[in-house]
Structure 1
Amino acid sequence: MREYLLTILIAALVAYLLTPAVRRFAVWFGAQAAVRDRDVHVIPTPRLGGLAMFGGMVAALVVATGLPEMRKVLANGDVSVGKALLLSGGLIVLVGIADDRWGVDALTKFAGQVAAAGVFIMQGIQLYVIPMPTGESLSLPPAYGVPLTVFIVVATINAVNFIDGLDGLAAGVVGIAALALFSYAYLLSYTNKLTTLSGATLTAAVLVGICAGFLPHNFNPARIFMGDTGSMLIGLLLSASTIMLTGQFDPAFLGTYTLFPFYVPLLLVPAVAAVPFVDMLLAVWRRTNQGRSPFAPDKQHLHHRLLELGHSHRRAVLIMYFWVSLLASSLVGLSFTNSLVLVASVTGAVAVAGLAAMIAVPRMSARRAATAATAPADPPRPRQPV
């Protein structure tokens, strides 16, 4: 655990320290987000924040090569984790830089995402097995494993890209997802007395670090955006951890009542990324139904609707954090207990309280504002004689 914590710390520290320099470079380079009708920021803001996140990832991997236990993970002959992350991450960052500076069409970005998934496959990051309810694992031949791997990578990248519309939203949501994956992988290995060293856990740790390091610069009011450079990078890392984690645990080591943890890798990312995935599906349906391209931008994403309900920018982001955290913690909790009723009861109670707060808070704020506006002004106080 100490080596994982050190990896997270290095990734966060380097990303945090690099971001101001990247911001100055983005201004000089001309990579700034102009104010558009569908945006919520009111001044041009530099992009390319993903460069700092990529720097944090590289630094963390370099440090990991010098750590005794992490070196074993990176030296795994079956899966070249470090090489895969560097090559695919570098490729996706180059595509992101081009888009943040000059803008590229959707087909070009899609081709870059598929190419990054191809790098994963060549380095051994691929879906090979899927857990079955019988307690066995279904082996996937390349004819099925390769396209399924590409689909997961591309879908995750675009889901993260879709939600990157509020300051700190994408970095926070993906950071929570990565923390859930890290906790699941490490704790399940530890409680079942298996090795806690894996490429999936290391990737999740690196992702937690770079999101945590970038978030202070990106939270409202954001001084820099991650841009497509960052959103595609963290989506790529999230998909890599998920793919490597699927099928990592052998059913023979798990008891009958703990078969559910087998399916957590397949469920965790869709659950913690439910907000961006639902947002993406709704956006595609909405735009297609209106006769527009699925990639045509609009101002009807979930975070825009939260702002319309009367929530502030920061509160809208914190609401998204809340729901992602609730879903993630519920799934991870089910991995370590056989009491479905207990987890469902706690999750349901917290969800009801969250919904009530989402509706009540903006109304209370509006009521207070209206009361303050209609309240008579205090009469001037008479001067005291000197």
Structure 2
Amino acid sequence: MRVYLFVAAVAGGITWLITPLIRHVAIQIGAVGKVRARDVHTIPTPRMGGLGMLCGFLGAMLFASRMPFLSNLFLSNHQAWVVMLGAVSICLIGMADDLWDLDWMLKMAGQLLTAVFVAWGGLQIISLPLGSLVTASPSISITITAFLIVASINAVNFVDGLDGLASGIVAIGGIAFAAYSYILARNSPSYASMATLIDVAMVGICVGFILHNWHPAKLFMGDSGSMLLGYLITCASIIMTGRLDPASIHASIYLPVFMPILLPILVLFLPVLDMCMAIVRRLAKGQSPMHPDRMHLHHRMLRIGHTVQGAVLILWGWAALIAFGSLMILFFRARYVAIGMGVAVVLLSLATMYPYLKHRIPEIREENALERAQHASGGMTGDPQGPRK
């Protein structure tokens, strides 16, 4: 465990140190986001922070490749190098969008090509645990893998609307993934150890970047960052569950991630939910699924009265509840987990709706008081609408 924590610290340290330089470069080359109608920030802010996160991730992975405990992961197979090459590719596509605002179809084509390359390089969902082990054909494996990577990339991209929101949600999901894969790694399956390594490095770059991205942000991660995070968390989940045989693992351990297809959705529940709602909403209006608007979950939070920091913290809380809820089944009985999650849901619901209730309850009281006053006045003055004897 200490080795993984050290890797996370290296990733976070590199990201934190190099991000100010990336900010300076972004300003020099014109990668500065203009204030658009849907944006929350009010002043132009440099983006392309994903380049600093990429440097942190690559630096941590190269550092890990020289560590005796982890070096075998890089020698026994080439998955780590495939993941790193894919990370460079997806970050470069995001940087191009940060600079030139690529058409969404062109950007998605680049995402798909990267996903297919990674799947072709060996990062695939080989088995689907649907009650019994189902071995997919190579073409089906590549298709499913590419779909999951592209979907997760865009889910994180959709939720990246407030300072620190996307990086915090992905960090929470990465911690949950890392904890679960570390439990499996105790039985020494190499793929679980690789998943843990990717997760802890990803958590490190998220934490290192948040230190510069907390509101008011000095730098945005841009598409280069949100696409990178969506890519990495999906790669880790595929490595961890894509070859997992449910017959070889106790049911109590396998239950939280019963289906590899559902695993990214479980941990990235909020981004996936926001993405699905946005697609349905836009298609219902006859718009493109990628048409921007101000109806995302974080926009709704601000609209009912939350501050940017408050909205981010509450959404982090929801993400943590969903991500760690299944993980708790490994350590506690299901009914206790259900009770704890129920209490947490109530508390988070109250926190979410507090600004709305704070303003709405006095209004309701004033309306009720006015109605009572009108009713009493009508009864005493003989108003035709008042009570009659």
TM-score, length-normalised on structure 1?
A: 0.89
Contact 1:251–1:262 (CA<8 Å) still a contact in 2?
Answer: no
Q: In structure 1, how many angstroms separate the alpha carbons of the residues matched to 2:252 and 2:294?
A: 45
Contact 2:182 / 2:193 at 8 angstroms: preserved in 1?
no
Separation in 2, partners of 1:267, 1:332: 14
How far, CA to CA, are the matches of 1:184 and 1:162 in structure 2?
Answer: 26
Structure 2: give runs of 5+ residues left out of the alignment: 363-389
Change over 3 Å in CA distance of 1:66–1:167 after alignment to 2 = same
Distance 2:192 2:299 in 1: 41
Higher gyration radius (CA): 2
The equivalent of 1:226 in structure 2 is 221
- For residues 277-324 of structure 1, the C-alpha deviation after alignment (integer angstroms, 9 at most, x for no partner) is 111111111111111111111111110000011011100001110000
Deviation at 1:354, TM superposition (A): 1.2
Query: Hey, what does 1:14 align to over in structure 2?
Result: 14
> 1:174: which partner in 2?
170
Aligned to 1:348: 342
Q: What is the distance in 2 between the residues matched to 1:67 and 1:207?
A: 18
1:364 Cα shift?
3.9
Specify which of 124, 143, 152 is matched with residue 156 of structure 1.
152
- Give 1:141's aligned residue: 137
State the alpha-carbon separation in 1 of the partners of residues 361 and 23 from structure 2: 40
**Residues 307 and 248 from structure 1, CA distance in 2 versus in 1: closer, same or farther, beyond 3 angstroms?**
same
In 2, the alpha carbon distance for the partners of 1:185 and 1:197 equals 5
Match of 1:76 in 2: 76
SS in 2 for 1:38: coil
SS of equivalent to 1:185:
helix
Partner of 1:154, secondary structure, is helix
Superposition pairs of residues 175-194 of structure 1, within 5 angstroms: 175-190=171-186
Describe the shift of the 1:193–1:29 C-alpha distance in structure 2 as closer, same or farther (beyond 3 A): closer
With 192-201 and 37-46 compared, the bigger mean Cα shift is at 192-201
Q: CA deviation at 1:254?
A: 2.6
Correspondence for 1:331: 326
Equivalent in the alignment of 1:43: 43
CA distance in 2, matches of 1:261, 1:315: 29
State yes or no: 1:241 paired with 2:236: yes
Q: Which residue of 1 aligns with 2:208?
A: 213
Task: Give the structure-2-normalised TM-score.
Answer: 0.88
Cα–Cα, structure 1 residues 235 and 259, in superposed 2: closer, same or farther, change >3 Å? Answer: closer
Paired positions, count: 362
Q: Which residue of 1 aligns with 2:372?
A: none
Structure 1 residues 195 and 82: alpha-carbon distance in aligned structure 2, compared to 1, 3 A threshold: closer
Deviation at 1:166, TM superposition (A): 0.5
C-alpha displacement of 1:143? 2.6
Paired position in structure 1 for 2:61: 61
Partners of 2:221 and 2:92 lie apart in 1 by 14
Q: 1:24 to 1:36 in 2, by over 3 A?
A: same
1:380 maps to what in 2?
Answer: none
2-side partners of 1:233 and 1:259: how far apart?
28
Which SS does the other structure have where 1:198 is aligned?
helix
CA contact (8 A) 2:174 2:199 kept: yes
Q: Is the 8 A contact 1:51 1:229 kept in 2?
A: yes
C-alpha separation between the residues in 1 aligned to 2:94 and 2:233? 17
Tell me the equivalent position of 1:34: 34
CA distance in 2, matches of 1:281, 1:149: 19
Identity of aligned residues (%): 39
Deviations 1:322-374 (A, max 9, x none): 0000011111112344x222211110111011112222255448999xxxxxx
Structure 2 counterpart of 1:83, one-letter code? W
Q: Is the 8 A contact 2:56 2:205 kept in 1?
A: yes
Point out the more displaced range, 254-263 or 163-172. Answer: 254-263
Name the SS for the 2:158 alignment partner. helix
Is 1:7–1:206's contact at 8 Å kept on the other side of the alignment? yes
The equivalent position to 1:305 in structure 2, one of 281, 300, 307, is 300
Change (3 A) 1:110 1:363: same
What does residue 99 of structure 1 align with?
A: 97
Quick check: 1:167–1:220 contact (8 Å CA) kept in 2?
yes
Match of residue 126 from structure 2: 128
| Cα distance change of structure 1 residues 273 and 205 upon mapping to structure 2, 3 Å threshold | same
Per-residue Cα deviation, 1:15-57 (whole angstroms, up to 9, x for no partner): 0001000000000010001111110000000001000000001
* Partner residue, 2:378: none
CA contact (8 A) 2:31 2:48 kept: yes
Secondary structure class of the residue paired with 1:355: helix
Question: For 1:252-291, what per-residue CA distance to the aligned partner results, in whole angstroms no more than 9, with x for missing partners?
Answer: 4433444414516543421221111111111111111111
Q: 1:311 to 1:194 in 2, by over 3 A?
A: same
1:87 maps to amino acid: L
Q: Are residues 274 and 55 of structure 1, via their aligned partners in 2, closer, same or farther at CA, if it must alter by over 3 Å?
A: same
Amino acid across the alignment from 1:207: M
Q: How does 1:230-379 map to 2 (within 5 A)?
A: 230-261=225-256, 263=258, 265-337=260-332, 339-361=333-355, 363-364=357-358
Residue 112 of structure 1 corresponds to 110
Q: What do you get for the CA RMSD once the two structures are aligned?
A: 2.0
Distance 1:364 1:87, change over 3 A: same
Q: Helix, strand or coil: the match of 1:284?
A: helix
